[in-house]
Amino acid sequence: MARAWTLTSRPTGMPTHDNFALVDADLPTLDDGMIRVRNHWLSVDPYMRGRMNDVKSYVPPFAIGEPMQGGAVGEVVESRADGFAVGDRVVHMAGWRDEAVIPAAGAQKIPHGDIPMQRYLGHLGMPGMTAWFGLLAVAEAKAGDTVFVSAAAGAVGSAVVQIAKAKGMTVIGSAGGADKVALVESLGADAAIDYKAGGSLAKALGAAAPKGIDVYFDNVGGAHLDAALACARDRARFAICGMIEGYNSAEPAQLRYLMRIISARIQLRGFIVSDFQSRVGEFYSEMGALVAAGKIRSEETIKEGLETTPEAFLGLFSGGNVGKMLVRV
Ligand code: NDP
């Protein structure tokens, strides 16, 4: 028997605790090729909000009353799969629960070593890979570029700031509040904007980048995207990664500077991190080298206990995290 979070109803607007229930869930039989994993760390991610809606997307919606899924890191406690032994550490998608029986084909072993295992849910996992390929492959950012990144104190954004600095770019980050701005600067950003301080975001960005920006890494959408459009140089490239400002809202975004896409020949490219699955080896070797060289600092916000998982998830939408939001089971 496992304890697992289920979705009891589909949220309208901002989800609440009432949309979730912690239940006892039967574990499947451990057949050939399967492993039983005790989860140590769970990831909560903004994209999960989209899975709570009953709409067709690049991942299917969560089923009502069934254990939810998400990134997790755990330890193999029983194995009937070749190549997986008790004690192995794995990253897999049966999160939102304390224990899971899963096909070993859906789990990836992670090394025992100096790197904390939860890092494989952060800068050495999906958010880090999103930052890496979004910046370097989607936006084709290169040394000398001026890069603007929103949600710069978060999991993806804090990686974008540091990868861009390591690659010789000028970086401007935005985040909510003075503490987060100080953090973004401490990660190496050349300037940081507190978007909650009030005033025009386009003016603040224009002051930080008087010659304009070459690249925008969008995590937020809405007013941030509009400010980036206002300040884009000719032929600027935008990696459209996320638009968290709109995830709980039915209101359409108002973009005053949309038409600059034409006059400034701005390229906007949306992407999903899984588009780059075939290049995961490149990510591990190059990002791994930056981590090993101490060029990437990983911040984490940790909630304690499986019970806190919905609280951790909801915190993503109120800026309750610095760096990667995690649950320690
Ligand atoms: P973060 O760790 O950045 O957490 C979310 C942050 O977003 C919060 O800490 C908060 O920071 C900020 N935020 C929340 N609501 C708003 C709002 N209304 N306006 C402005 N900022 C807001 O999350 P991730 O790093 O995991 O994800 C960042 C973005 O990347 C998300 O949009 C996500 O959906 C997207 N993503 C896309 C992927 C892809 O494949 N395309 C893969 C992974 C992530 P603050 O306090 O600064 O406001």
Q: Is residue 292 helix, strand or coil? A: helix
Pocket test for ligand 1, best of 44, 156, 245, 248 (most atoms within 8 A of CB): 156
Our answer on whether the CB atom of 130 is closer than 6 Å to any ligand 1 atom is: yes
pLDDT at 292 over 90: no
Domain at 2-121+299-328, CATH class: alpha beta
Mean pLDDT in residue range 68-76: 98
Our answer on whether the CB atom of 45 is closer than 6 Å to any ligand 1 atom is: yes
Beta-carbon contacts of residue 199 (< 8 Å; ≥ 6 apart): none
**Least reliable range by pLDDT among 38-47, 136-145, 175-184, 245-254:** 245-254
pLDDT confidence tier of residue 58, bands split at 50, 70 and 90: confident
Mean pLDDT in residue range 8-13: 96
pLDDT at 103 over 90: yes
Q: Would you say the pTM of this structure is higher than 0.85?
A: yes
> What is the average pLDDT value for the chain, to the nearest integer?
97
Predicted confidence (pLDDT) per residue in 189-219, tens digit: 999 999 999 999 999 999 999 999 999 999 9
Residue 323 contacts residue 299 (beta carbons within 8 Å): yes
Per-domain residue ranges for the chain? 2-121+299-328, 126-274
| Interval between CA 157 and ligand 1 midpoint (Å) | 8
| Interval between CA 73 and ligand 1 midpoint (Å) | 21
3-state secondary structure the chain: CEEEEEECCCCCCCCCHHHEEEEEECCCCCCCCEEEEEEEEEECCCCHHHHCCCCCCCCCCCCECCECCECEEEEEEEECCCCCCCCCEEEECECCECEEEEEHHHCEEECCCCCCHHHHHCCCCHHHHHHHHHHHHHCCCCCCCEEEECCCCEHHHHHHHHHHHHCCCEEEEEECCHHHHHHHHHCCCCEEEEHHHCCCHHHHHHHHCCCCEEEEEECCCHHHHHHHHHHEEEEEEEEECCCHHHCCCCCCCCCCCCCHHHHCCCEEEECCHHHHHHHHHHHHHHHHHHHHCCCCCCCEEEEECHHHHHHHHHHHHHCCCCEEEEEEC
pLDDT confidence tier of residue 113, bands split at 50, 70 and 90: confident
Angle of helix 126-133 relative to helix 280-292, nearest 10 degrees, comes to 100
For 323, list phi and psi in degrees, rounded to 5: 65, -150
Residue 3 contacts residue 24 (beta carbons within 8 Å): yes
Instruction: Judge whether 2-121+299-328 and 126-274 match in fold.
Output: no
Our answer on whether the CB atom of 271 is closer than 6 Å to any ligand 1 atom is: yes
Predicted confidence (pLDDT) per residue in 114-171, tens digit: 899 999 999 999 999 999 999 999 999 999 999 999 999 999 999 999 999 999 999 9
Instruction: Report the CATH fold assignment for 126-274.
Output: Rossmann fold (3.40.50)
